[in-house]
Amino acid sequence: MEQTFVMVKPDGVARGIIGEVITRLEGKGLKMVGARFERLPEKRVMEQYREHIEKPFFPSLHHYITSGPCLLMVWEGRSAVSVVRTLIGKTNPAEAAPGTIRGDLAMDIGRNVVHASDSPESARREISIHFSEDEICTYKRTDEPVLYE
């Protein structure tokens, strides 16, 4: 099974829609195997967004992502990265399809509720930034036999 990183950003936390995000991911059949609720420390913000540090929008992104707590999660399932990306929708909520998390719950690209890894490589990198191996749980969902062939 593949793992991916998902973060409910400060706007999603402040709006009280953490449960909605989790419900949609669990409802699809994905399994949460790690979670932490916290304000991101500076070191991990810089690691998480290292490819954006030199971009003009980074100061605003940095201010926003450190403005409140985030829910950091690791999700597992077959093709978890692509499944989660489909569920959350396009980065710009104005372009995200109805039925997706961003399409239904967000209005602005700068406050788009959730982050999710965009590739298996990014997922491995982002998970390792925020979680140690011993913080990832292994267990069976009772519905796994009917989720997968």
Catalytic residues: 115
Please spell the DSSP secondary structure of 22-83, one letter per residue: HHHHHHHT-EEEEEEEEPPPHHHHHHHTGGGTTSTTHHHHHHHHTSS-EEEEEEEETTHHHH
How far is residue 18's CA from residue 148's CA, in Å, rounded to a whole number? 26
Question: Which SS3 state, helix, strand or coil, does residue 111 take?
Answer: strand
Instruction: Mention every residue, 6+ apart, whose C-beta is less than 8 A from residue 72.
Output: 5, 6, 7, 34, 35, 36, 37, 38, 130, 131
First to last CA, the chain: 13
Give the residue carrying structure tokens 């491995």. 124
